[in-house]
Amino acid sequence: MKPRPLWSAALPILLALAIVFVVPRPVSIKPEAWRLLGIFVGAVAGLVAQPIAGGAVVLIAVTLAPIFGGLTVKQALSGYGDPICWLVMAAFFIARALIKTGLARRIALLFVRIAGRTSLGVCYALSFSDMLLATVIPSNAARSGGVTLPIVRSLCELYGSLPGRTAALLGAFLMTAVYQNVCVTAAMFLTGQASNPVAAKAALDTLHYQVTWVGWALACVLPGLCSLAIVPLVVYRLNPPQIRRTPEAPVFAARELDAMGPMKRQEVVALAVFVAVCAGWVTSPLHGLEISITALAGVAALLVTGVLNWEDVKNEKAAWDIFVWYGGLLMLGQALNDKGLTNAFAKAVAAQFGYLGWPALFAIALLVYFYAHYGFASITTHIVAMFMPFVAVLVAMGAPKGWMVFAFACFANLSAGLTNYGTTPAPMFFAQDYVSLGQWWKVGAVVSVVNIAIWSTVGFLWWKVLVLW
């Protein structure tokens, strides 16, 4: 990492000390629990400011928790044994297999060959291939950065659309439209983004509300498909491509597929595991297996068949990085809930704003929560910092649990489209230099209104049909 300014290191320390020594501690909260809150707030601030790598910040917090926060060593390390943590790890390894074998690229090219005869069709093809991969790949960076973005850039260059004077031919539209839909697909599945299981775990631990893979997919399929269909049309007006018809795109896809040749044994095995894992998640209510076990069984099958080797597992740096900070954050969130801090916060806020009623407060809170993402460079950090406090307050005021959980979890993903740093793929797409910063933010602002409108009408009504409220 590049050297960070001094304030980025001072901020988390000062916030942690302010919580412990300046903010009055409620009588019902024990001193060690209050110190644990300071450690948690400091960790979240460290994830935002990043004076050092995020995983290192969380590891420091995990180390401080048993020293100052009243936890045992076993409790402090308990997050690393959580099934949700291993679900994310397993999904990353499966994603590595799909990319390593070329299966993920083959899927994307197949979509382009079928639907890529127009610039709008290319966008839809890549968006729906990303949606399919999101059913099992929890990293939007791996999906879009490793599979989708290279295809987008190749198609732009195929039509002579390069950064600069020719960007408007095709590239400006595709870069912004495909990225906006990447944010939508991240919201559509429990495995669509690494932070989604964090929200599901927090809902289970704090509210005793269980979110399954099937339940998440069912809740988000209708509003998600509406967004995937409408958002490219909106971007089409904002960044209109000068090249509207792209007959060479299917030819390009066919040529690339021919170069790949027929599916090889490793691709067939990866596809079989992909289908089996998804089927196992869908049918989990019938056989009762935890979805983390299903995912780990898929990884085991990939290792046994040689599609993955142990070097692949060891070298999956993104997965092990997530393991460190993910498990630590899971533990801290659980510990704060166990010590009554989440409940105390919800009751205190509900007492202050009870005169509004939860529907009015929900509308205000959801908009504040969404546009607060201008201050975040990570969906996970956004969810860790704001998801549970907002949801807990509204549930304490009488709001339906399911409605609140899905609204705040999904809107965190959608809000990543606001900026050129909203989630990991954002700088990847923006760095291609097809769109100015002002135009990128303009598209993000307009699309944010469209997504909020879709998910708060179609989405909320669909959730009523599903009896989430």
DSSP letter at 51 equals S
411: left (phi over 0), alpha (psi -120 to 50) or beta: alpha
Which of these, 177, 148, 174, lies nearest to 243 by C-alpha position? 174
Whether residue 265 lies inside any domain: the answer is: yes
Backbone phi, psi, residue 139, to 5°:
-115, 110
DSSP letter at 93 equals H
Handedness of CA 294, 295, 299, 301 (dihedral sign): positive
Q: Max CA-CA distance within the chain?
A: 70
Backbone phi, psi, residue 333, to 5°:
-65, -45
**Quick one: pLDDT at residue 340?**
80
Please give the tally of structural domains in the chain. Answer: 1
Per-residue pLDDT of the chain (469 residues; tens, 9 = 90+): 556 677 778 888 999 999 999 999 888 889 999 999 999 889 888 877 878 888 899 899 999 999 999 999 999 999 888 887 887 788 778 878 888 888 888 888 888 888 888 999 989 998 998 898 888 877 777 777 667 888 888 888 888 888 888 999 988 999 999 999 999 999 999 988 888 988 998 898 888 999 999 999 999 999 999 999 999 999 999 999 998 988 888 998 899 999 999 999 999 999 999 889 888 887 877 787 888 898 899 999 999 999 999 999 998 887 888 788 878 887 887 788 788 887 777 677 667 776 788 899 899 889 988 998 887 777 887 888 788 888 988 998 889 999 999 999 999 999 999 988 888 788 888 888 899 988 999 999 999 999 999 999 999 999 999 988 8
Q: How far apart are CA 350 and CA 355, in angstroms?
A: 9
Q: How far apart are CA 33 and CA 344, in angstroms?
A: 12
**Quick one: pLDDT at residue 86?**
87
Domain that holds residue 289: 77-308+340-465
Which of these, 184, 200, 186, lies nearest to 87 by C-alpha position? 200
Whether residue 427 lies inside any domain: the answer is: yes
Give helix 248-260 / helix 103-115 axis angle, nearest 10°: 150
3-class SS shares of the chain: helix, strand, coil, % to 5: 80, 0, 20
> Can you read off the two tokens belonging to residue 372?
């607060």
Q: Any idea which residue has 């304030």 for tokens? A: 7
Q: How far apart are CA 382 and CA 15, in angstroms?
A: 17
Whether residue 282 lies inside any domain: the answer is: yes
Residue 222: CA atoms inside 13 Å, Cβ hemisphere, count? 15
Whether residue 41 lies inside any domain: the answer is: no
Rg of the chain's alpha carbons, rounded to an integer?
22
Single-letter code of the amino acid located at 305? T
Helix (H) or strand (E) holding 390: helix 388-396
**Quick one: pLDDT at residue 316?**
84
> Can you read off the two tokens belonging to residue 73?
């060593």
Residue 253: CA atoms inside 13 Å, Cβ hemisphere, count? 23
Whether residue 23 lies inside any domain: the answer is: no
Q: How far apart are CA 450 and CA 462, in angstroms?
A: 17
DSSP letter at 245 equals B
Report CA 313 to chain centroid distance, whole Å.
22
Whether residue 362 lies inside any domain: the answer is: yes
Single-letter code of the amino acid located at 327? G
Whether residue 52 lies inside any domain: the answer is: no
Whether residue 279 lies inside any domain: the answer is: yes
How many CB atoms are closer than 10 A to CB 60? Answer: 17
Handedness of CA 141, 218, 276, 81 (dihedral sign): positive
For every residue of 158-199, DSSP letters joined together read HTT--SSTTGGGTHHHHHHHHHHHHHHHHHHSTTSSTTHHHH
Residues whose CB falls within 8 Å of the CB of residue 128, separated by 6 or more in sequence, listed in order: 111, 115, 228
Q: Which residues pair with 118 in a beta bridge?
A: 245
